[in-house]
Structure 1
Amino acid sequence: MCGCIFKKAYGYTTGGGILMALQQITDIKHRLAETTKTVRQTKRAVLFSHVEAVPTMKPLQIYQSSGKSYKGERFYWENPEGNLTLCGMGVAAKLQPGADSVGRFSQVKDQWGALLSMASVNHCLGEMATGPILFGGFSFMEGETGPIGLWEDFGDYLFYLPRFLLTESANGTFLTSTKLITEDCDDCSIERFLEDREQLMSLSPAMVEEIPSFSHVEERDVEKWKEAIERSVEDIRTGLLDKVVLAREVSLHFEGKIPSGTILHNLTEQQPGSFIFGVESGESCFLGASPERLIKKEGKQIFSACLAGSIKRGDDARTDEQLGLELWNDEKNRSEHEFVVSMMRKAMEEQCIELDIPQEPILMKLANIQHLYTPVKGTSLPNSSILEFVELLHPTPALGGAPRKIAMEKISEYEQMERGFYSSPVGWMDMKGNGDFAVGIRSGLIKGGQASLFAGCGIVEGSVPESELTETKVKFKPMLNALGGLRI
């Protein structure tokens, strides 16, 4: 019977392959038995995490196939370089705000540290983004998200330590299985954990579900939003602030539940060179195709980006080039971009020994839009964590404004909506303080048959309301296309 199970689960058809699979299950059973014994002797919980190489399995297909078993407890991540894809299923631990008054970044750091202090991990593989990792994000503004409303399933922050993590990298495919072993864990719960692992390995690729028929669109008062831009320009002219980012929301309604796996599939196909991300919580899923990296940490090496200033793509190569030159030479967009670069340099210097930021931006050309882009590289201080960089950088002037405090106050006053996780840090981090966070833009929140989409613009002295409105329509396109090529 075991041989049949492992043929199906691992796709092995040779005797050597079956023996390898049997050895892997023997290894994880042995480690579980030893860990359980230790917990019962010491009466101290242990975070058990086991990493193993597995045959090729496509994370997006597994995300789609695992919907029945893990609906509301999944996440997906694909980096723009195309060399790392993650799919998390189930929850070994969940990090959400506590009742104390400590800042949320400190809360996450402390909670994560507490979990890792009791972790038992087989380190034999040493692959990036394997072992215990956290995936999730923060809300744009602390204290903004309440217990009811659009973002009620997310709060000020939400991070998952997945029960099962599938990692696809340039070095192969890996499965991390994680369980918190306590004194209360009996043999049956351990056996169920192993059975769930086997069932996951035997999942067949699911058909891409159809998006239900579109019903109607709701749009917040556009004229009020344009008036807010005019008020912001006046604030800038009087010297109150240098820049503020104003976002707006549209809600699309469908005649049935929207399948998040289909949207992720479409974003992957339609938005190459972007971060494709999705994180479920209850009945909600926040997902998108972000062009912007907030921070990546790999050992001592730090990578970030300044992305501000945008224009649409041209219908042909010549027009596209002309539009790119127009953007590069536009005073308003160059000024907006420089705000971001200046802030990035100042913030990164606090945590970096060395910093490399080019003097001039280049063009980043995506499927529907092109941006002014300045890459940032650095060498971090010893023992720094990616969370320290996230706290330093969020929100950048590209998503908030400058000065930061006044810009955030004006956003609260003028936008009249909850951003939630929109334009906020979303990504992953490992037990060594490494990880990768994108900025949650070109995104939307799916909840049942409703998709709420968000887009914002940087407002500076030269901003014109009608032009900014047109820019948001361009920024809605990635999600509109993923939802079936809708136009609003």
Structure 2
Amino acid sequence: MESPPRDGQVSAEPTGSNLVSRACKLPDCDPRAFLAGRDAPRTYWTSPYGPEFAGGGTAARVTADGSDRFDAVREAAEELFDGHDFDGPDQARPRLFGGFSFHDDHRPAPPWLGFGAAEFVLPRTQLTRANGETWLTVSARDATPEAVEHELTEVSEALTSTDESATDSRRDGPPGVVATNSTTTREEWAEQVAAAVSRIEAGELRKVVLAQALAVELADEVSVPDALARLGESYPDCFRFCFEPTTEAAFFGATPERLATLRGRTVETDALAGSVGRGDTPEEDAELEASIENSEKMAHEHELVVETIREQLSPIAGAVRVADRRVRKLATIQHLWTPVEADLTDDGHVLSIVEALHPTPAVGGLPPEKALQTIRETETFDRGWYAAPVGWFDAEGDGTFAVGLRSAVTGDRSATLFAGNGIVADSDPDEEYEEVQLKYRPILDELEDD
């Protein structure tokens, strides 16, 4: 029987394709073990609101760069899915997984080797867990349906074999942290915040989000599938993701912030800005919650985000609904949170929503152009995909993207962590510095030995 080709490549330039996908139901399969058994590129995604996905290998890849990268990815994906031959249930349909860099002129360089300005992969093998069921999907370009069905049978038999299933119970521990080195000292940070506040007081800015990077030397290599499993135990209410385009680097994290979900014509997004730590006792935790709810500075910072999301969605939505502000509690931090929904006036694509919203004031600032300029002039490291859209979309243009926060890029025995904070007129450099250190904890805790 003919074997399907082992790789597919779709650039942002239109190219013809013959994409074939087949799916079958499996007994429950541990996504950690599935990922551990796959070669790069590897992808992972799960959210509090929807399915869990794990992917390995490449059926097709879509890349783009420059200011039109969102349109270029969408157009290339539409051509890829044109005439797609898929025989399977809706929940097992193939998706493109990936994301974008924060700045549109990003170029891959350490630690971001393999990460372009826009990079998406349609996995050769995709594992989907949804509604209590587990599905395996195999996709290939320019292959016969019979060849894809044959490969599907081979992969499903391997996954359900006694030997491979036994790996489900094995998990490596954290790699251990040898040393950490911040790109920004406390003194440098104070100078950066003071300069930003001066611009705000002069009327150039309303808000800017400044970030730091933490270089971490590890005692061993990171097992990203195991790190994701541990993050799932500590942060089940977050979006967990991994994108590993090559064997040289992987970007993963557990972010609390959804950028956009599109289902049909319904858009869902979150305003998440203003944060404080968790207390050691219920009483202390309640006091901290009250402090964030009553803080004029944090309320101002948060409302800037809500206001901007409403403005960004209004041109394409017939109605924008803003829920009441509340506090969202996570394991080590709590945030001011406002869910937002909108109804599109016409059929749309999630990438159009993502382009309209990125970067939100929660990771960029206001006005956007001045904030981006300030970030470029101030930060001494490459954000890469940090604070940028990461997620998935399907042939219909539906999908979900989160903001790549509480994240790290890792390769060999090193990792680079990222965290930032919104700076407004009354920001205190010391308080902002401590809040940034708190935001490292979700990933740093999963890297340190117990």
TM-score by length of 1: 0.84
Q: Report the Cα distance in structure 2 between the residues aligned to 1:350 and 1:121, rounded to whole angstroms.
A: 35
Aligned to 1:140: 102
Q: Could you tell me how far 1:435 is from its partner in structure 2?
A: 0.8
Structure 2: any 5+ residue segments left out of the alignment?
Answer: 5-15
State the Cα RMSD in Å. 2.2
Q: Report the Cα distance in structure 1 between the residues aligned to 2:24 and 2:315, rounded to whole angstroms.
A: 38
Which secondary structure state, in structure 1, belongs to the residue aligned with residue 419 of structure 2?
strand
Aligned to 1:49: 21
Within 5 A, what are the aligned runs for 1:36-435?
Answer: 45-64=17-36, 66=37, 70-81=38-49, 83-97=50-64, 103-122=68-87, 125-127=89-91, 130-144=92-106, 146-181=107-142, 195-202=154-161, 203-204=164-165, 205-206=167-168, 207-222=170-185, 223-282=187-246, 283-358=248-323, 360-435=324-399
Within 5 A, what are the aligned runs for 1:424-463?
Answer: 424-463=388-427
Deviating more after overlay: 207-216 vs 459-468: 207-216
Aligned in 2, Cα 1:162/1:396: closer, same or farther, shift over 3 Å? same
Contact 2:136 2:156 in 1 (8 A): no
Q: Report the Cα distance in structure 1 between the residues aligned to 2:17 and 2:401, rounded to whole angstroms.
A: 30
Which secondary structure state, in structure 2, belongs to the residue aligned with residue 91 of structure 1?
coil
Q: Which runs of 4+ in 1 moved over 6 A?
A: 185-190
Q: Report the Cα distance in structure 2 between the residues aligned to 1:45 and 1:344, rounded to whole angstroms.
A: 37
Which secondary structure state, in structure 1, belongs to the residue aligned with residue 57 of structure 2?
strand
Deviating more after overlay: 202-211 vs 476-485: 202-211
Between Structure 1 and Structure 2, how many residues are aligned?
432
Return the index of the structure with the highest Cα Rg: 1
Q: Report the Cα distance in structure 2 between the residues aligned to 1:102 and 1:227, rounded to whole angstroms.
A: 31
Which secondary structure state, in structure 2, belongs to the residue aligned with residue 417 of structure 1?
coil
Deviating more after overlay: 233-242 vs 261-270: 261-270
Q: Could you tell me how far 1:226 is from its partner in structure 2?
A: 2.1
Q: Cα deviations across residues 302-352 of structure 1 (Å, max 9, x unaligned)?
A: 110000000111111111111111111111101100110010001111221
Which secondary structure state, in structure 2, belongs to the residue aligned with residue 247 of structure 1?
strand
Contact 1:72 1:281 in 2 (8 A): yes
Which secondary structure state, in structure 2, belongs to the residue aligned with residue 142 of structure 1?
coil
Contact 1:60 1:76 in 2 (8 A): no
* Identical columns (%): 34
Q: Cα deviations across residues 76-102 of structure 1 (Å, max 9, x unaligned)?
A: 111024x4211111110111226xx66
Deviating more after overlay: 278-287 vs 217-226: 217-226
Q: Report the Cα distance in structure 1 between the residues aligned to 2:39 and 2:219, rounded to whole angstroms.
A: 20
Q: Could you tell me how far 1:53 is from its partner in structure 2?
A: 2.3
2:142 aligned partner, one-letter code: I
TM-score by length of 2: 0.91
Which secondary structure state, in structure 2, belongs to the residue aligned with residue 416 of structure 1?
coil
Contact 2:23 2:152 in 1 (8 A): no
Q: Report the Cα distance in structure 1 between the residues aligned to 2:39 and 2:139, rounded to whole angstroms.
A: 18
Q: Report the Cα distance in structure 1 between the residues aligned to 2:379 and 2:299, rounded to whole angstroms.
A: 24
Structure 1: any 5+ residue segments left out of the alignment?
Answer: 1-28, 33-43
Q: Cα deviations across residues 332-385 of structure 1 (Å, max 9, x unaligned)?
A: 101100110010001111221222103x41100110001000001121232201
Aligned to 1:466: 430
